[in-house]
Each structure stands twice: as C-alpha cells, then as structure tokens.
C-alpha cells in the first residue's frame, strides 16, 4: 500500500470531520498513527515512520498520554475541619454515586441514620455495573458529601460516620 502526501492530507481531513480518536494504519513501507483528544481543541498528533524496503515494521511507539478532560480531575479537597471521631467512607473505584438502588426508591442512608458494619450505604456504577458499597464500621451518618448521580474519583470521601 502506498500513501502520498495528498492522500495523507485527505485522510486527515476526513478524520478531522469524524469522532474517531485513534487510527493506526500500516503499509509495506510505512506506519501511520493518529491520536487525538476530542474535548480539547488541540490539533491531532501524527506519527509517520518510513521504513527501508524489505525491513520489518518498527515496534509500535509508546502511547501518548491522554490529555486531561475538562473540569477538575482531582477529588475535591477534604473539609477544613474534619473531626477525629469521624470515619470516612471512601470510593473504592471511579464511578457514579447513587444513594438508592433505583430511581424513586428510598436512599440507603440519610444524615442521622444508624448503620452497622456490612450495611449497604450507596451504589457506585462503573462500566454499567452496579456495585453496592457496604460500610466497614458501625455508627451514625453525619455527612453525605456527594450528590446523587455525581461522578466520583477513587479515594474520594463519600460520607462521614461517627463511630459508635
């Protein structure tokens, strides 16, 4: 397969009008990799390697790091005054936080609820899987820090429990 500069320009123009984020194309004497991150207006990254005739294709280039998505990427900072008698329930994975098992159902817990170790306190949806999160300790829910349906990060504090 041959690819000249005009064909390359046409291919890049077609890719620019599509929502394709990554394309790898290999021929007998070239390898073309195009990667881009759609949320940012940065131009596409193009790598083209010309190999001598008869030579095996070069090893694939390391993947370019994906740019940060718009908005905050780090979990929100913890509250300034965290009491030492409170235990934090944290997200064990990245996902979407839900307070109840289904829309319209009662939440698992409310502020003021007494809970025991092993009791479900919320659901984290990750990759279309609903994961029930159980409390690791008993006590009273004193803060729920995340709104229903909000994306959460690994390690983000979801709620605080007063042990006892």
pLDDT of 162 strictly over 80 = yes
Q: The whole model's pTM is what?
A: 0.50
Q: List pLDDT tens digits, range 141-160.
A: 999 999 999 999 999 999 99
Instruction: Tell me the helix, strand and coil percentages in the chain, rounded to 5.
Output: 5, 35, 60
Bridge partner residues of 49 (DSSP): 31
Residue 46 in 3-state DSSP? strand
- Give the SS3 label for residue 51: coil
Mean pLDDT comparison of 61-70, 71-80, 108-117, highest-scoring range: 108-117
* DSSP E strand boundaries for the chain: 22-26, 30-35, 45-50, 86-90, 95-98, 114-115, 120-126, 129-134, 139-144, 150-152, 157-163
Report the mean per-residue pLDDT for the chain.
76
State how far the Cα of 87 lies from the Cα of 139, in Å rounded to an integer: 9
pLDDT of residue 41: 43
Tell me the mean pLDDT in the region 106-135: 93
């Amino acid at each position: 397969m041959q690819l000249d500069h005009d064909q390359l320009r046409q291919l890049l123009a077609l890719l620019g009008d599509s929502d394709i984020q990554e394309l790898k194309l290999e021929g007998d004497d070239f390898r073309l990799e195009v990667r881009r991150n759609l949320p940012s207006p940065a131009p596409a990254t193009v790598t083209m390697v010309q190999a001598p005739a008869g030579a095996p294709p070069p090893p694939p280039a390391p993947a370019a790091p994906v740019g940060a998505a718009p908005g905050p990427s780090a979990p929100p900072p913890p509250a300034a005054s965290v009491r030492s008698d409170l235990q934090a329930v944290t997200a064990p994975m990245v996902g979407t936080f839900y307070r109840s098992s289904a829309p319209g159902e009662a939440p698992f817990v409310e502020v003021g609820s007494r809970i025991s170790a092993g009791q479900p306190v919320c659901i984290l949806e990750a990759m279309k899987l609903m994961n029930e999160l159980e409390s690791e300790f008993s006590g009273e829910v004193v803060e729920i820090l995340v709104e229903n349906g909000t994306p959460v990060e690994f390690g983000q504090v979801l709620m605080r429990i007063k042990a006892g």
